[in-house]
Amino acid sequence: MKKILITLLFPIFILSQNEYKYDINSSNLPNWVKEMYKENPNPGKVEALYKEFYKKKDFNKNKHTQYYKRWIRSINRDIGKYKRPVSKINEYDSPQWYCLGPFDFDRLASSSSYAAGAAHVYTVEQSINNPNVLYAGGATCGLWKSINKGLQWVSLFETDLPINEVYSIEIDYLNSNIVYFSSLGILYKTTDDGENYEIIEELSFIKDLVLHPENNNILFVCDESGLFKIDISENNIETLLNGDFLEIEFHPTNSNIIYVVKSSSNKTIFLKSIDGGNNFTTPENEVWPNPSSPDEQKRTEIAVSLDSPDNVYALTTGSVNGGSGLYGIYVSNDMGESWEFRCCGQQPGGEPNEENQNLMGWSHEGLDDGGQYYYDLAFAVDPNNSNRIHVGGVNHWISEDGGYTFTCPSKWSWADDPENQKYVHADIHDIKYYNNDLWIACDGGIFYSENQGNKIEQRMFGVAGTDFWGFGSGFSDGGVMIGGTYHNATLLKDNDTYIQGDSLNGTAESGGWASICGGDNYRGFVNFGDSKKVYLDDWCSGGGYTLSNDRNTPLEGFSMQVVSNASYTIGESSNLEFDPRCYNIIYIGNGDILYKSDNNGYSSVPLYDFGENVASIEVAWSNPNILYVSTYNSYWGDKHIWKSEDGGGSFINITPTFPGIQNDAWIPYDITISDFDPNNIWIARCPNSTSYDSYSSSKVYHSNNGGQNWQNITGSGLNGENITNIEYHRGSNNGIYLGTRTGVFYKDDSMDSWMSYNNGLPLSTFSTQLMFDYKTNKLKNGTNRSVWEVDLYDTFPPSAQISADKLIINCLDNTVYFIDHSAMKDELANWQWSFPGGTPSSSTSQNPIVTYEEPGSYDVSLIIENAYGSDTQIIPGLITMTNNPISMEGFDCDGNCQESFLNMTLIAEDSYGDGWNGNILNILVDGESFTNYTMNSGYSEEINLCIPNETYCVEIFVEEGGWPEEVSWELVENGETILNGNSPYNIDLYSNCPIYGCTNSDAINFNPNADTDDGSCCIGSFYTILMEDSYGDGWNGNTLIIGDQELELEEGSEEEVIICLPINEECFNVTCGGGDWQSEVSFTIYNMNGDVIITGGAPFNDCFLEGCTDELACNYNINATIENGSCEYPEDGYDCEDIYLNENYNSKIIINKCDILGRNVNIKAKNQLLFYIYDDGSVQKKKKIIY
């Protein structure tokens, strides 16, 4: 047990260090950047503006997009001031968590990423009196120690201190067991090799710690509020200066001289003390950066060298003279009294070129502008050679001439080059020299050189600091794990395939992880029936990989037609949800649409459009026709839960309506389902922001009737927790596991409250995704501190589930690969399968292979048993065998084309030779998917096809993927090219497919060429509605209602919608309002001629009707508000009823007055159409108006 000497309420904010905002005074920043850089930015508004901006522009990574990513992440990982309690039941009764890594990465494995890494490390320090001892601070994983010069690391205080981010460390130069370290605003000290700790002081964000070189009881500390001197022995702190201080350095041979750097407004200031810190001055000189707004220079690192003790070196960053990134390398040879500008170019900043390199950008040649120069910045000078200077930004740079020129020994993206012995992962935060030892801490881990950088190696084995953004593990093989990570590509474990494995057991030769596919990926899924198939971000492989089980054999990619939604924001991503009966049937949420694939994602069909992003998807185990889906409208938009009982064809809204939910309806949902009862479901509310009072008592809900009614089961035990995911333990007594921002919790029917399930888990561990491994009775947890595993709370009787690779077969493909998808611990396990009509008809194998010979429908049953009980499942008609020509893609049982099908060859080519990169050729027959094709790799491929003849409607379209300009193809019949094209492409092959359109001749959009009505007919008029938002973040809940139609600008700055309004004699009511920021809202309604009908904003309430407004016209409409030129008038001498009016007779003696029906009327009648009948037989029509 560690001993807590001082107890405080810990303020914990998981932030991407103290990064300054970029170019805030620039006048040409996009709106989303301006909003993000405000004092208290609204994340929903920023997210909407960001998405709208990149809908219209190609995405290019830059300093603002990188800041956005880190900022969004910090919001979604924030836990406020909450500290997870350690309960007695957690401490003594629950199983112990165990880390599975990554602890390192297998950099030279085949298919390794060009930017491989495995942990995000801010700082590394080596002991002076014991060079084998090192301490390192992680961005998410706390404090680490090595006693063998970085060859192996162990974590300190992970179950005692709720710390993730350790930014500054200082080791006592007389005793390597005495260490000072900071986490955000707390300064800690340990004096006994990391056994115990004490809190020295609570400050703001601490940026540097330096012991006095001649008195190890004096510690200098700087943070964003001041520069401090702490007397450890006297327990006294003295404020030396106020302000935001960045850096502290002592003169190498004179401890009375101290250099510090202060950030002030748009610049940094160099200060110097010659009396041990009692007084500081700013030497006057004209060379040190002094930018004028909008230019800026907000970050400076300084360094000194024993080789030239009076020299001070400064690395400054900012934007000036039309360029950003490196501001300049400055050197003083008189202890900071004067400075010389040395690099790069002839002046600070400026546009990069070969003579003016930007050392902060992504290019290894220094030719690109920008970088992340307020985020990643490191600087060191060789103590034995003051001409050798190291600069860290995105890349590692070295100067051998005192800072006049620099070279980049290895670009950040050259990790996959086996000949490269100088690779350092991108985004360097710390570079430290200790005699000849050079240490580098960066977003990919810890790197070391013993020869000034001529050869650099990984030295991070043991650091469990991988920050997973997505995570999945195998069901049939729990040794397969994969997940996209923050900074470090996608991390993949394939049992013992990769090296640099289990540091806790000292195994470096196997059991490791590979870093694949570039950085900052979101996704990670494993096929439950075939664990060799893993799914990840589509830009890398097209959607998935087939594992090779050999680190020297490349992974083979496969394409998915659509991929799941993915986001940095909690609750916005979608999972891949498999049909529990078939491991090639996948439900995918892409955009607003739920898709279904029957062939492992190779092709997909849309099932349902929710009008909101699809998030969590769950298919019921006991009835796969029942689906539940949660949707994500926008950051602050209301979130919803939906249920389908027909396999996704239709859905109903089942969102709970409790006041606790409605008060903060923007909180996203995660869903889980019982394996016994498809209507027994649980939902967890997973906030993407924190500190909302209504959430504290409305976190978890349960329904036993499919969402008709809900029960709040938040109860006790979850105080202060923010849930991230929820999972049901199959076969249990309603056992539910919750992952939260700090740990894991459990509850079942035997418990009254939620139980903390965190024994051995680091005290602040963000749960990205919980996964079950039923064979070993384990629970896995993909986190911000690598992957952890624990025994399940209890071992329950097994729960049977039959599954197969396909459910529909034919004579060409009549073999079914069944797998046991049961939840069963592999302890005395046995299986009894029954396959009536199949061969074999029964089996005791876990995963049998069965063939069928005759068309028909076949039942399958499974009895399972282990040491804890047994279970049975029977699925009637699970397997269907049919030899329908369409289902067999036109082939007969001998592999030839059937009657009415033409034998053709598809010749596919890719000019680059890397396959089609997600471009897919689809063939539709009578509107349904017939077959599709993509080339996974190579230059060319030929495929034999059977194409339906002209008796069918055949459409061929090529769906555009990546690099479509490389794609070409042709269809060949008997050596003759029938058709050829590129990507994209679309054709009605025989020009005989239905022509859809409006077939009603009374409609305004009647299409005489259409032969199939598409439901678009408008009996009335079309109107175009332009909805605009002046800020560009959508209407924030405001709606526009026109008649019975409701419209909303959900995101962005503008959108046009065309609506049909029916023929009407009454005015169409128009209202607008109901949301926030109404001053930003405006709309314009146009008629079919492009005329403006009405404009307005919010709030608004009026009506309009186009028509004839002339009272003398025959078709005058008293309700019309807008003249549309439709007035009709009678011919001369006639009235509107074609009655001839003789007005030439002069006597004009009125003999009668009547209305249009011939009834006599009183002369006092008001507002009536009258007919005056004269004695000569003439009639005059008049309108009697009396006011």
CB 957 within 8 A of CB 920: no
pLDDT score of 564 more than 50: yes
pLDDT, tens only, 148-194: 999 999 999 999 999 999 999 999 999 999 999 999 889 999 999 88
H or E segment at 68? helix 63-77
Which one is the CATH code of 802-881: 2.60.40.10, 3.10.20.740, 3.20.10.10, 2.40.50.140?
A: 2.60.40.10
Average of per-residue pLDDT values in the chain? 91
- What percent of the chain has a predicted confidence (pLDDT) above 90? 77
What integer is the mean pLDDT of 107-129?
95
All residues at 6 or more sequence positions from 164 whose CB lies less than 8 Å from its CB, including other chains: 12, 14, 138, 139, 140, 141, 142, 183, 764, 784, 785
Asked whether the domain spanning 901-988 has the same topology as the one spanning 802-881, the reply is yes
CB 477 within 8 A of CB 820: no
pLDDT score of 585 more than 80: yes
Q: Is the peptide bond before 283 cis (omega within 30 degrees of 0)?
A: no
Amino acid at 173: Y
Q: Which of 338, 336, 341 minimizes the C-alpha distance to 316?
A: 341
pLDDT, tens only, 1074-1083: 998 999 999 9
More confident residue, 504 or 373: 373
Give dist(CA 114, CA 410) in Å, integer: 12
Give dist(CA 616, CA 669) in Å, integer: 7
Give dist(CA 113, CA 513) in Å, integer: 12
Give dist(CA 7, CA 15) in Å, integer: 23
pLDDT, tens only, 61-116: 888 888 888 888 888 888 765 556 655 444 446 899 999 999 999 999 999 999 99
**pLDDT score recorded for residue 211:** 98
DSSP string across 983-997: SSEEEETTS-S--EE
**What phi and psi, each to the nearest 5 degrees, are found at residue 818?**
-85, 150
Q: Domain segments of the chain: what residues? A: 10-96+731-795, 549-714, 802-881, 901-988, 996-1108, 1130-1187
- How far lies 1035's CA from each of 46, 613, 666, 1032, 1040, in Å? 13, 17, 15, 9, 10
Torsion of Cα atoms, 938 then 939 then 941 then 947, to 10°: 120
**pLDDT score recorded for residue 1178:** 63
DSSP string across 265-290: TTEEEEEEESSTTS--B----SSS--
**pLDDT score recorded for residue 1131:** 87
Give dist(CA 81, CA 79) in Å, integer: 6
**pLDDT score recorded for residue 184:** 83
pLDDT score of 1 more than 50: no
Sequence-separated contacts (24+) of 180-186 with Cβ below 8 Å = 180/209, 180/211, 180/219, 181/135, 181/137, 181/143, 181/209, 182/206, 182/209, 183/142, 184/11, 184/12, 184/13, 184/15, 185/11, 185/223, 186/8, 186/10, 186/11
Q: How confident is the model at residue 15 (pLDDT cuts 50, 70, 90)?
A: very low
pLDDT, tens only, 504-536: 666 678 889 999 988 888 899 999 999 999 999
Q: How confident is the model at residue 599 (pLDDT cuts 50, 70, 90)?
A: very high
**pLDDT score recorded for residue 194:** 85
Q: 959: which 2 tokens?
A: 């769906």
Sequence-separated contacts (24+) of 198-201 with Cβ below 8 Å = 198/5, 198/6, 199/5, 199/6, 199/8, 200/230, 200/232, 201/228, 201/230, 201/237
Q: How confident is the model at residue 493 (pLDDT cuts 50, 70, 90)?
A: very high
Judged by DSSP in three states, 217 sits in strand
**pLDDT score recorded for residue 199:** 95
- What percent of the chain has a predicted confidence (pLDDT) above 70? 93
pLDDT, tens only, 621-678: 999 999 999 999 998 899 999 999 999 999 999 999 988 888 899 999 999 999 999 9
pLDDT score of 460 more than 60: yes
Give dist(CA 270, CA 23) in Å, integer: 21
CATH number of the domain located at residue range(s) 549-714 in this protein: 2.130.10.10
pLDDT score of 10 more than 60: no
Give dist(CA 245, CA 227) in Å, integer: 6
Handedness of CA 697, 699, 703, 707 (dihedral sign): positive
**pLDDT score recorded for residue 52:** 85
DSSP string across 326-362: EEEEEEESSTTSS-EEEESSSSSS-S-BTTB--TTSS
Q: 1181: which 2 tokens?
A: 């029509």
**pLDDT score recorded for residue 1166:** 47
What integer is the mean pLDDT of 18-40?
85
Residue 844, classified by CB atoms within 10 Å of its CB into exposed (0-12), middle (13-18) or buried (19+), is exposed
**pLDDT score recorded for residue 85:** 60
Handedness of CA 270, 271, 276, 277 (dihedral sign): negative
**pLDDT score recorded for residue 1165:** 45
pLDDT, tens only, 883-915: 999 889 999 999 999 999 999 999 999 999 988
122-139: string of b/e by CB count within 10 Å (b at 16+)? bbbbbbeeeeebbbbbbb
All residues at 6 or more sequence positions from 338 whose CB lies less than 8 Å from its CB, including other chains: 283, 285, 287, 332
More confident residue, 1153 or 823: 823
Give dist(CA 332, CA 796) in Å, integer: 71
All residues at 6 or more sequence positions from 776 whose CB lies less than 8 Å from its CB, including other chains: 478, 825, 826
Q: How confident is the model at residue 1170 (pLDDT cuts 50, 70, 90)?
A: low
All residues at 6 or more sequence positions from 141 whose CB lies less than 8 Å from its CB, including other chains: 119, 120, 155, 164, 463, 464, 465, 762, 784, 785, 786
CA 1038 to chain centre: 26
Q: 535: which 2 tokens?
A: 């799914």
Q: How many CA atoms are closer than 13 Å to the CA of 423, on its beta-carbon side? A: 22
pLDDT, tens only, 680-706: 999 999 998 876 778 989 999 999 999
**pLDDT score recorded for residue 1184:** 47
**Distance from the first to the final alpha carbon of the chain:** 96
Q: How confident is the model at residue 11 (pLDDT cuts 50, 70, 90)?
A: very low
DSSP string across 1101-1158: EEEE-EEB--TTSTTB-TT--EE-S----PPTTB-TT--B-----S---EEEEE-TTS
Judged by DSSP in three states, 93 sits in helix
CB 364 within 8 A of CB 395: yes
CB 564 within 8 A of CB 573: yes
How many C-beta atoms surround the C-beta of residue 144 within 10 A? 28
Give dist(CA 156, CA 144) in Å, integer: 6
Q: 897: which 2 tokens?
A: 């084309």
Task: For residue 181, list its beta bridge partners.
Answer: 169, 188
CATH number of the domain located at residue range(s) 901-988 in this protein: 2.60.40
What integer is the mean pLDDT of 1146-1155?
55
**pLDDT score recorded for residue 1029:** 92
Q: 570: which 2 tokens?
A: 């909690």
